[in-house]
Amino acid sequence: MKKILGYVGAGLMVWGLASCSKDAAQGGNATQNGAKKVKITMKVTAPGSTRATVDGNLTDGYVMNWAEGDSFSLMDDQGNAYRMTLQDGADTPDGIFEGEIDANSARGEIAPGIGFMAINPYVSGNTFASYTIAIPADQTTDDTADGGLGNYLFQWGGAAFDASSGDDKLPAPTVQFEQLSTFWEITIANPSNLSIKSVKVKAADDAVEPFGTSATASGLGNQGTSSYTFSNYIATTFSTSRTDSKVSARLAMFSTNYFQQSAPAGTDLQIEVTLDDGSIYVFNRPGVTKSITPGVVVQSNVDMSAPDPLYYDAGVMIGGLKWATRNVDAPHTFAATPQAAGMFYQWNSAIGWSSADPMVDSNGGTTWNSAWDGGGASATTWDSANDPCPAGWRMPTQAEFSTLAIAGTGGAWTTTPANGWIFGSAPNTIFLPAAGSRYYSSGTLGLVGSNGYYWSATPNSATNGYLLYFGSGSVSPSYVSSRAFGFTARCVAK
């Protein structure tokens, strides 16, 4: 995560001014320093909001209700913080809150011109001058109506207090909370009643961080500066795995444009749905805007019966391990068919190279690195950051290739659907094409259709790595080659 400095927008801190005269709001309880406490009661309305859909047509409104025990921090610009607690209105959007605040003198006055603001939920020690609001990137969805995230939703817009009654209970007009954060709501069609454990929304590019997860504010309005923390993803884990035919997941996030951050108009996002068995279904959502409107619930639909084949593979169990049925193509995607070569990778590299000429890499480059050593002696395995496998998958170890090579009947060379080797025993078999390789010194393509070379994640030395090799008459799961060679990749499930 990274922090970005900027100005707090006026909409972030709109505060009420106490409009009391010197003789108003008398009474209350004395404090230790001689000042008095004044009770304050206010009706706070949680607003409805519209949905913004990125791949559907839902337009129904969404209203968040208050719940028993809700409380928020009411702060004044003198650095004092007070707790306002729900007294009435649970399970409705209109809550009656009550608390006590310090008067400005022993007479129990509240001087005119004092600024107030409120942050929900209540956090002990919050002050008007500086505070932090955080939404965890890793969240939990429980069984309540709002998914357990209701307390993250609102910030008080502010209003003037009416203290004309002159007694020790200071009433306030109805105030409405502005929505500081919002939901990404994902509706999952689950016709096979799969056991869904968690849901994640992430930027496809790991370097992009579109989701605001915390804000630290200082000062008032446009003059105040704050730091904002952003994340590459937001995710929620269900407190109880969901097996319903229709599952809803709500992920809370801050709205980046609420904090007046410059955010590009679109970025490629992915929705990942993880099952109890570790399987991950990935759904692409290209070009989705990062500037989510405050208070607008973003809604997406995914169908577990139609996962994106670029990112999903059913896999086959062989020797106690689930093997993908297709090679890796561009980083984090599968090849279209089992007989497709996909792309070539140097050991411990996340950059793919074309399996046909002209030679070009997954970033558009054309210069082969003949000195590549994959991190040298310090690289004791294929780094997870460089793993080209799709989500939920990883590069296999040399030991796992050894198990594959002897599983079942040990496999056999075949020319159908292309030249390659079939591993395992029916019906649990996988086909690995004899895709050839790119030569370490030049990247020259060779041995296509004759030999197969598949990198393992296991190093042999500071410059070599283990791989699975096969030809028409033999298989070796302990072959050793220079890390600068370009070989194909076949993944195993995490």
pLDDT (tens digit per residue) in 201-248: 988 888 888 777 776 655 433 334 456 678 888 899 998 999 999 998
Q: Which of 80-84, 96-100, 346-350, 451-455 has the lowest mean pLDDT?
A: 80-84
| pTM listed for this prediction | 0.71
Extended strands (E) in 232-266: 233-242, 246-254
End residue of a domain, out of 303, 336, 366: 303
Q: How far is CA 128 from CA 78, 112, 158, in A?
A: 7, 17, 13
Residue 354 has pLDDT above 80, yes or no: yes
> 405-411 long-range contacts, Cβ below 8 Å, gap at least 24?
405/468, 405/475, 405/476, 405/477, 407/318, 407/319, 408/318, 410/475, 411/475
Cis peptide before 390 (omega within 30 of 0): no
> Residue 296 gets which letter from DSSP?
P
Residue 337 has pLDDT above 60, yes or no: yes
User: Encoding tokens for residue 148?
Assistant: 């357990």
> Residue 13 gets which letter from DSSP?
-
Query: Is residue 310 assigned to a domain?
Result: no
Identify the pLDDT of residue 356.
96
Same domain, 345 and 290: no
Query: Is residue 261 assigned to a domain?
Result: yes
> Residue 367 gets which letter from DSSP?
-
Which tens digit of pLDDT belongs to each residue from 93-148? 788 888 887 765 443 445 545 556 666 667 676 555 566 667 788 888 876 544 44
Same domain, 332 and 428: yes
Same domain, 349 and 211: no
Q: Which amino acid does the sequence have at 392?
A: G
Identify the pLDDT of residue 126.
59
Same domain, 284 and 388: no
Selected residue with higher pLDDT from 459 and 173: 459
Same domain, 288 and 331: no
3-class DSSP state for residue 52? strand
| Mean pLDDT value across residues 70-82 | 74
CA 437 to chain CA mean position, Å: 36
> Residue 330 gets which letter from DSSP?
S
Query: Is residue 447 assigned to a domain?
Result: yes
Strand 36-45 versus strand 175-179 pairing type: parallel
3-class DSSP state for residue 239? strand
Same domain, 286 and 330: no
Confidence band for 83, pLDDT divided at 50, 70 and 90: confident
Confidence band for 317, pLDDT divided at 50, 70 and 90: very high
Residue 443, domain extent: 316-493
Same domain, 189 and 325: no
Identify the pLDDT of residue 170.
52
Query: Is residue 308 assigned to a domain?
Result: no
User: Encoding tokens for residue 121?
Assistant: 């939920």
Residue 406 has pLDDT above 80, yes or no: yes
C-alpha span between 372 and 241 (Å, rounded): 44
| Mean pLDDT value across residues 155-179 | 51
> For the chain, how far is it from start to end, CA to CA, in angstroms?
24
Which tens digit of pLDDT belongs to each residue from 34-68? 556 778 788 877 655 555 555 544 444 556 678 78
Selected residue with higher pLDDT from 256 and 294: 294
Query: Is residue 309 assigned to a domain?
Result: no
Same domain, 214 and 346: no
| Mean pLDDT value across residues 308-336 | 95
Which tens digit of pLDDT belongs to each residue from 357-380? 999 999 999 999 999 999 999 999
Query: Is residue 311 assigned to a domain?
Result: no
Reference 118, options 163, 145, 151; nearest CA is 151
Reference 491, options 391, 375, 405; nearest CA is 391
Same domain, 330 and 263: no
Query: Is residue 461 assigned to a domain?
Result: yes
C-alpha span between 76 and 290 (Å, rounded): 33
Reference 101, options 133, 73, 122; nearest CA is 73
Residue that has been written with the tokens 């029916």 in this structure: 426
User: Encoding tokens for residue 421?
Assistant: 């080797």
> Residue 159 gets which letter from DSSP?
-
Classify residue 375 as left (phi > 0), alpha (psi -120 to 50) or beta.
left
Same domain, 235 and 321: no
Greatest mean pLDDT among 270-279, 384-393, 447-456:
447-456
Same domain, 283 and 358: no
User: Encoding tokens for residue 3?
Assistant: 């922090």
Answer whether 20's CB lies under 8 Å from 112's CB: yes
What is the number of other CB atoms lying within 10 angstroms of the CB of residue 98?
16
Confidence band for 326, pLDDT divided at 50, 70 and 90: very high
How many folded domains does the chain comprise?
A: 2
What number of residues does the chain have?
494
Answer whether 135's CB lies under 8 Å from 213's CB: yes
End residue of a domain, out of 303, 328, 357: 303
Query: Is residue 336 assigned to a domain?
Result: yes
User: Encoding tokens for residue 58?
Assistant: 């839902």
Same domain, 424 and 477: yes
